[in-house]
Amino acid sequence: MITFHNVCKTYEKQHVIKDFSLTIHEGELFVLIGPSGSGKTTTMKMINRLIEPTKGHITIKDNDIATLNPVALRRNIGYVIQQIGLLPHLTIQENVSLVPRLKQMAVEEYHARVQELMRMVALEPSTFAERYPHELSGGQQQRIGVIRALAADPDIILMDEPFSALDPISREQLQDELIRIQQELKKTIVFVTHDMNEALKLADRVGIMQNGHLVQVDAPQQLLAHPANDFVKTFVGNQHNAMLASLLPITQIMQPAHTMYAHQTIKEAQTFMLKHQLDMLIILDRQEIYMGSVTIWAIYQQHYDPETLLQDVIQSTVAVLSHSATIEDLTALLHVQTQPITPVLNRDQRVMGVINSTEAAAYIATL
């Protein structure tokens, strides 16, 4: 989608960006992060030609942007900045519709688009459309800044530290809003920040910069688990353990499940469990849907008739985990339950695998 080909940027013999090569994929939220002066904002501004590279070239969908009209290019790339940049003499509706009007979109079309976007960020048009920027809170203004960048339906959106001036609560709300919007619209977003927590929360991939170079490009969980060098390890900082636990999927430590069907007998279950040295067995119905579990202790303690069906002795109150759960979710569960294994289910309530509690606790201790 967006590719940097050996890009350099020099100011008066000072190399700000050095031999920079990177591909940002279509539909991903890519975060550039690094200390002040590392070149992250310069890199982003070269995408919409607010800054021109000294050497190398940048392509969007294989088109060299140096060959494109810069004004037309910018009208097709959304841009959100920290200062928001709403025009104070225009209403909110006029601010949001500015680029669509410049692109001569039909009035009915851009009017409907503005209303749709305002509702998307919980700003009811009948209440806010005719207000002016000074009549909105900082968080509301920044929401308008985000949807203004979306108004002309661009494929690419650039966001330069858009939430850094907000209070912590508003900032977290806007981050959640951006995640929700991105899940719905799947734009290609390049997001610059100096906040590692924000980067790890938002990004599909993170690019860490130092002195004009890309030091590491990785998904957040890989970045945390495998920092490329001491600089990255230090830059990630103290949030390593907590963030890693919140990002790592439990599927990383999931094991195959031993299952039987509810219409099978206790005698069959005992034989199977002894053969495989199992303390607990996952029970399914005939359609492979999870029903519950049985333990070897429950079978022995109750002295059931060997021909009793498993459906008559199932424990259906055993805690389960979703396949989308994280290590953090598992840690919380281990604090309140003592079962030897925890089933992991997909959206259709089918068993994907199990988590062994003892082995999971040992793994968590290493994070």
User: Residue type at 261?
Assistant: Y
Provide the CB-side half-sphere exposure for 195 (13 A, CA): 16
Give the β-pairing of 341-345 and 351-356.
antiparallel
pLDDT at residue number 77: 94
Exposed/middle/buried for residue 209 (C-beta within 10 Å: 0-12, 13-18, 19+) = buried
pLDDT in tens, 146-177: 888 888 888 999 999 988 878 777 888 888 88
Q: Which region among 63-67, 94-98, 169-173, 197-201 has the lowest average model confidence (pLDDT)?
A: 169-173
Residue 295 per-residue DSSP state: E
Q: What is the pLDDT of residue 289?
A: 95
Mean pLDDT computed over every residue of the chain: 88
In whole angstroms, give the CA distance from residue 294 to residue 275: 16
Alpha helices (H) along the chain = 40-45, 70-75, 92-96, 98-102, 107-120, 125-128, 138-150, 168-185, 196-202, 220-225, 230-236, 240-247, 266-276, 296-302, 327-334, 357-365
What pLDDT does 242 receive? 61
Domain ranges of the chain: 2-248, 251-365
pLDDT band with cut points at 50, 70 and 90 for residue 300: confident
DSSP 3-state percent helix, strand, coil across the chain (nearest 5): 40, 25, 35
Percent of the chain past pLDDT 90, that is, above it, reads 45
The neighbouring-strand residues paired with 206 are 31, 218
pLDDT at 189 over 60: yes
Q: What is the C-alpha to C-alpha distance for residues 236 and 339, in angstroms, rounded to an integer? A: 35
Tell me which fold the domain 2-248 belongs to: Rossmann fold (3.40.50)
Residue 92, pLDDT > 60, answer yes
Model confidence pLDDT, tens digit, residues 48-67: 999 999 999 999 999 999 99
pTM for this entry: 0.69
CA distance 210 to 230: 12
Q: Same CATH fold, 251-365 and 2-248?
A: no
Instruction: Kindly report the three-state secondary structure assignment for every residue of 225-243.
Output: HCCCCHHHHHHHHHHHHHH
- What distance in Å separates the CA atoms of residue 21 and residue 56, rounded to the nearest whole number? 9
The band of 8, judged by pLDDT with boundaries at 50, 70 and 90, is: very high
Q: Into which CATH architecture does domain 251-365 fall?
A: Roll (3.10)
Strand partners, 228: none
d(CA 112, CA 286): 50
pLDDT value at residue 47: 97
Most trustworthy range by pLDDT among 55-64, 75-84, 173-182, 310-319: 55-64
Beta bridge partners, 218, equal 206
pLDDT: which is higher, 364 or 340 = 340
